[in-house]
Structure 1
């Protein structure tokens, strides 16, 4: 009986330790997706400078999510966000949107 209680307590302890971290990663991932969608929307309106602002915010959240949960889709999303920022700073909204859309695809895949 003591073994069962110990195993239960140990399992609950691990859950309590890891659950908040995973929840925080999901929050960052959700924010990254939201900012990426905003970046795409502004890019389609021709606002490359606003696209960059939103893509940089998305990048910060994506990097925080990647630290909390190692996922290849998040890593690819980060690379695409960086490329989108570079192109947006060049005022090349069309190419920046393409990278942002690719980033969004990967970030959404990481959420599943």
Structure 2
């Protein structure tokens, strides 16, 4: 009985030790995704579709990592819009890509 109790306490302690780090990792990734999405929007408004794509891809990488660490429906929706922004940006449609990046930003900010 004592051995089982000690193993259970060690497991609980390990879980409590790691749990906050998982949450912080998700928040860090979302914050980075927001930063890159804002950069994408700024460049999209200037008509720089290729630079928008670069920042949107970086934002997508961070958003997906944040979603993997801690699932959130707003993050998932932000990811969809980032993918759309990337697709339209690659086609040279800076205005449409910017609209999707702005929608992604709204969702990512709600996920934070």
Query: Taking structure 1 as the reference length, what is the TM-score of the superposition?
Result: 0.88
Equivalences, count: 108
* Corresponding position of 2:99: 98
d(CA) in 2 for partners of 1:81 and 1:9?
41
1:72 paired with 2:73, answer yes
Structure 2: runs of 5+ lacking an equivalent: 1-5
Secondary structure (helix, strand or coil) at the match of 1:23 reads helix
Q: Which runs of 4+ in 1 moved over 3 A?
A: 6-13
* Corresponding position of 2:16: 15
Structure 1: runs of 5+ lacking an equivalent: 1-5
Query: Taking structure 2 as the reference length, what is the TM-score of the superposition?
Result: 0.88
1:14: Cα distance to partner?
2.5
d(CA) in 2 for partners of 1:12 and 1:109?
31
1:58: Cα distance to partner?
0.2
